[in-house]
Structure 1
């Protein structure tokens, strides 16, 4: 962590971080309103998270991340942009979903450039794999969406198949989603583009 990130973590975490606790969260109590809630899993340094939240003040966002430097960076962004619609949970995402997030409560998931676990023997560790996709689906409201972006094309194909096989989900598009213009480009994404990696987007939603 940089000195700035350490300072932000020490000063702002009590205000904007939700401590992990194995009991269901009340979004109305956390945010003080009944606005839709979107969870971002693995926000990295959080710059895109802050930009999206700034563009959508009537939507609440919860970022889940275990990378403490990224948490510190996003805390700085929250303070400097005067954002009131972001909270952070610094813990394993699956445990958070299982124990803290009520079923059928989320308007969406953002999953940007998750670890592709490139070796075949490690594919089972991928986030977008059943039964994890069943858990994600259970947390979405009807009509809620799961939006994933990756620069690893084989993972995109695998994720599309896994999501398509998940009961209660359907793709909004016949195949991969067109680029969503509201999503800011990140430094990580630019690194992938510099390596000639193809950026692929998936958009699924929970059906009746």
Structure 2
């Protein structure tokens, strides 16, 4: 797990190469339950980038519509989605081990067979492990907004990333983003507006009401009471 931290080296000089990432590893302490889950459950429900391209029938034992979520945090909403849609298979990607441990614990507690996780860089997992045209939906909920202008280059929603997502989606597949930063919502709009191959599903304006499949988080409900906005963007591969 977290092997990508060790892999950003020049193959000739051995020097660590600087790479712009959309995340920073700020890991808190693992609880005993999370530590146990990473030790005992990861071999069962964890996926490794080093294993290469996914063979879905091997991972899930079936063929089914597939949803991939990038940056699931502590995993509560992803677990809720997987539990509510047993006819679909879900893959999560998260770099913070406490969140991965919490997800593994929930998978065990609920007996879910349709949810697996990577603990790795999402861009590299998409590029190296996800077959082209194989996903029904890609989800990106509340990514780090990197609100300072000098850090905007770290935002994950960039033209190269959007093109990669497009390649991994099946025709008609959906790319669903949500953010509680209005400035980032505008940035997402601009990137998607300039990207070929997408259709905005919004009927009125650029945003859509929260789709039924995305659970409303406690943080989101608290923000709504305080008058904070949330913007959902939903695009279809054409």
TM range (shorter): over 0.9
| Aligned equivalent of 1:110 | 139
| Preserved CA contact (<8 Å) 2:49 2:125 | yes
Aligned equivalents of 1:199, 1:130: Cα separation in 2: 23
Q: How does 1:124-139 map to 2 (within 5 A)?
A: 124-139=153-168
Q: For residue 27 of structure 2, what is the aligned residue in structure 1?
A: none
Aligned equivalent of 2:121? 92
Post-superposition shift, 1:200? 0.7
* Contact 2:49–2:128 under 8 Å retained in 1: no
Structure 1, unaligned stretches of length 5 or more? none
Whole-angstrom distance in 1 between the partners of 2:148 and 2:226: 19
Structure exhibiting the larger radius of gyration computed from Cα positions:
2
**Cα deviations by residue, 1:69-117 (Å, 9 ceiling, x for unpaired):** 0000000110111100000011000000111111111101111100111
Is 24-33 or 177-186 further displaced after alignment? Answer: 177-186
Which residue of structure 2 lines up, in the alignment, with residue 189 of structure 1? 220
Secondary structure at 2:107 match in 1 = helix
- What SS does the corresponding residue of 1:163 show, helix, strand or coil? helix
Q: TM-score, normalised to structure 2's length?
A: 0.83
Instruction: Measure, in 1, the Cα distance between the counterparts of 2:195 and 2:234.
Output: 14
Tell me, in whole angstroms, the C-alpha distance in 1 between the residues paired with 2:220 and 2:228.
9
Residue 83 of structure 2 is aligned to residue 54 of structure 1: yes
Q: Identify the residue that residue 140 of structure 1 maps to in structure 2.
A: 169
Distance 1:133 1:22, change over 3 A: farther
- Give the TM-score normalised by the residue count of structure 1: 0.95
Q: Secondary structure at the match of 1:157?
A: helix
Gap change, CA 1:177 and 1:126, over 3 Å in 2: same
Q: How many residues align?
A: 207
Gaps of 5+ in 2: 1-29
* Contact kept in structure 1, 2:200 and 2:234, CA below 8 Å: yes
Structure 1 position 193, deviation (Å): 3.7
1:33 aligns with one of 41, 50, 62 = 62
Task: Give, in angstroms, the shift of residue 161 of structure 1.
Answer: 1.6
Shift of 1:189: 2.6
Task: Give the aligned CA root-mean-square deviation in angstroms.
Answer: 1.4
Tell me by how many angstroms 1:190 deviates: 3.9
> Deviation digits for residues 23-52 of structure 1, max 9, x if unmatched?
211112111111011100000000000000
